[in-house]
Structure 1
Amino acid sequence: MRTAGIIPARYGSTRLPGKPLLEIQGRPMVWWVCERARRARRLDQVWVATDDRRIEEVCRDLQIPVVMTGREHRTAAERLQEASEQVRADFYVQINGDEPLIDPANIDAAVPDEVPLDVEFGTNIIARVKDPAQLCHSSNIKVVFDGSFRALYMSRTPVPYPFCDVSFSYYKHVGIIGYNRKMLDFYKSSAPGRLELIEGIDTLRFLDYGKELRLIPVERADSLSVDTEADLRWVRERMSEKRL
């Protein structure tokens, strides 16, 4: 089985325009994400998928494999699907392009030992919620799963509701998602489902249509998505201290 890590890198961020090219320790952010992804042992190749020639040029200068995709994509999964038409693999792992501290072990966790190729199949990294304040924050997607860690539901609100029992842990979605080709092609050809439209969570499309999404818990998921100038300063300081 051949695996590929795909890093969607969009230039037009509302809060931080040109985010993939912002400098950290003398290198653009996208370079750091690529370097972390390349440490993942279960990826055979790592590519950047971008909509902007400026990002493409920087990637080529830094010898980072890169593919151009359209600007019309609403979600990272749509960009990933287009990239999969240029990068041949059996399984694709979506890696956020704004997490320069992403853990390579968590990327590896998204690649199961066996991947069915004849039916739609995906994986999603999850982590236990340790800070109660995260439960009420709508940006933290809470997940519900069965005994085999197959996804049952995802929500921006705390689920399940502790009506009869409080002796359980909440889990949240972590932005590392794996897809086989059939799952990506299904995403391209399908319309948003009812629950996806209600919650505003595009991953719910797979559950709306009864596709298998296997959730994989990891112990540590403390990477930070760089969305603001304050996030960028924090990451720069931390990487400077660690001399990464």
Structure 2
Amino acid sequence: MSYKIVIPARYGSSRLPGKPLALISGRPMVWHVWQRALETGIPTEDIWVATDDQRIYEVAVAFGANVVMTDINHSCGTDRLAEVAALLGWADEEIVVNVQGDEPLLPARLIQLAADTLAADQQSGIATLACPIVDVEQVMAPQCVKVVTNMAGQALYFSRAPIPWDRDSFTQLPSTEVEKAQTGTLAPHWLRHIGLYAYRVNTLTSLSHLATSPLEQLESLEQLRALWHGIKIAVARVEQAPPHGVDTPEDLARIQCHFESEVVTVE
């Protein structure tokens, strides 16, 4: 199946400035993400790094990536993808997968799954992924974004709140019993959202012109803009979430240790 991959790589991260250039096993992080994209098997000319910084541009070009410079003033990743699609003249029905430049451990099969899920659902303009939550602490944790879907596998709502709310278990049982319920028969009801997205180009164009929605502002979840304006989001289920990306110096140290241990194992 034909689709595009865009890897947004911003220099200006508040918690870890310049992180796309942070070295992991002697290579910049953005190189590792580029490798994950190549592992999908799609043609190299369909994979692009999108950056707003000349330093990242030069490094990516040096290791052979296709790179496009984008506006430094974009407020969200969706707008950056829309600009890339416009600059490169991609057709309205083309599918674009957004692979964040700080996800060096993202499995290629998940990138492919996001694209396949959108291609299979002609009603949806976006596709994303989710996995079961089997830990009651995650159900309650606001940093764990939950998604509820309809019977067709399309998102009804995303929230930091514990949705769906189990009226009987959450209000009548002791916490230990709730935890048992969550790890047993009730677990399939709760889905953790995995922030990997595939878009149709015409949806990207529409989103870039739509106003921020009240729910998006309230929950601080960009995907709620699409639902607010009636854009359907297809959700594919996987058994578990991919390894966490790099947001902080601690995350970077963890990823560096992971790659170093793999090198030692291979040797």
TM-score interval w.r.t. the shorter chain?
Answer: over 0.9
Matched residue, 2:66: 65
Q: State the alpha-carbon separation in 2 of the partners of residues 226 and 117 from structure 1.
A: 31
Matched residue, 1:199: 219
Q: 1:127 to 1:116 in 2, by over 3 A?
A: closer
* Aligned 8 A contact 2:118 2:127 in 1: no
After superposition, the C-alpha distances for 1:29-87 in whole angstroms (9 at most, x for unaligned) are 00001101111146772111111011001011111111111011111111111111123
Q: State the alpha-carbon separation in 2 of the partners of residues 30 and 229 from structure 1.
A: 16
1:151 aligns with 2:155: yes
Matched residue, 2:3: 3
TM-score (norm 2): 0.85
Question: Cα offset for 1:240?
Answer: 1.1
Between structures 1 and 2, the one with greater helix share = 2
Q: 1:236 to 1:130 in 2, by over 3 A?
A: farther
Question: Cα offset for 1:194?
Answer: 2.2
Give RMSD over aligned pairs.
2.1
Matched residue, 1:162: 166
After superposition, the C-alpha distances for 1:160-208 in whole angstroms (9 at most, x for unaligned) are 1011466243111112101001110111111011211211101011110
Matched positions, count: 244
| More off after superposition, 80-89 vs 98-107 | 80-89
SS of alignment partner, residue 177 of structure 1: strand
Q: State the alpha-carbon separation in 1 of the partners of residues 136 and 43 from structure 2.
A: 34
Q: State the alpha-carbon separation in 1 of the partners of residues 32 and 252 from structure 2.
A: 13
Q: State the alpha-carbon separation in 2 of the partners of residues 21 and 156 from structure 1.
A: 31
Letter in 1 for 2:133: V
Alignment of 1:103-122 (within 5 A): 103-112=107-116, 115=119, 121-122=125-126
After superposition, the C-alpha distances for 1:84-127 in whole angstroms (9 at most, x for unaligned) are 11232500001111111111111111012673899761101111
Letter in 2 for 1:86: L
Q: 1:82 to 1:204 in 2, by over 3 A?
A: same
* Aligned 8 A contact 2:121 2:234 in 1: no
Aligned-pair identity in percent equals 34
TM-score (norm 1): 0.93
Alignment of 1:83-232 (within 5 A): 83-87=84-88, 88=90, 90-112=94-116, 115=119, 121-164=125-168, 167-169=186-188, 170-232=190-252
Question: Cα offset for 1:136?
Answer: 3.0
* Aligned 8 A contact 2:134 2:187 in 1: no
Question: Cα offset for 1:130?
Answer: 3.4
Gaps of 5+ in 1: none
After superposition, the C-alpha distances for 1:201-237 in whole angstroms (9 at most, x for unaligned) are 0101111011111001112323212111111111111
* Aligned 8 A contact 1:41 1:108 in 2: no
Matched residue, 1:31: 31
